[in-house]
């Protein structure tokens, strides 16, 4: 009986560890997705700042709009990853 209890406890621990790995993988995927969109958004914002410094208001506004769209796309992608759980 003692062996059966130990085996059962070890199996339960293994299943919990596997569940934690899957969740960690999901969280890692969300982080990668979020970071990719945030990086692109940050790049566009820096380009907009440069355009502003150069006095190119039209380019600044266009780049700011692209940065905002990238931020929204990142949120949507993150939501899609969450929904895939």
Q: Is 50 exceeded by the pLDDT of residue 3?
A: no
pLDDT digits (tens, 9 = 90+) for 36-47: 888 999 999 999
Query: Model's pTM, two decimal places?
Result: 0.65
Instruction: Indicate whether 11 belongs to any domain.
Output: no
**How many structural domains does the chain have?**
1
Residue 48 lies in a domain: yes
How many CA atoms does the CB half-sphere of 44 hold within 13 Å?
18
Residues 6 or more apart whose CB falls under 8 angstroms from that of 44 comprise 63, 64, 66, 67, 70
Contact 37, 74 (CB under 8 A): yes
> How confident is the model at residue 62, as a pLDDT?
95
What range does the domain containing 52 cover? 26-83
């Amino acid at each position: 009986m003692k062996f059966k209890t130990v085996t059962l406890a070890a199996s339960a621990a293994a299943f919990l560890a596997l569940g934690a790995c899957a969740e960690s993988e999901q969280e890692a995927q969300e982080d990668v997705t979020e970071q990719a969109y945030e990086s692109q958004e940050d790049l566009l914002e820096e380009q907009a700042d440069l355009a502003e410094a150069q006095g190119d208001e039209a380019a600044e506004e266009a780049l700011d709009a692209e940065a905002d769209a990238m931020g929204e796309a990142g949120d949507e992608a993150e939501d899609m990853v969450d929904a895939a759980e």
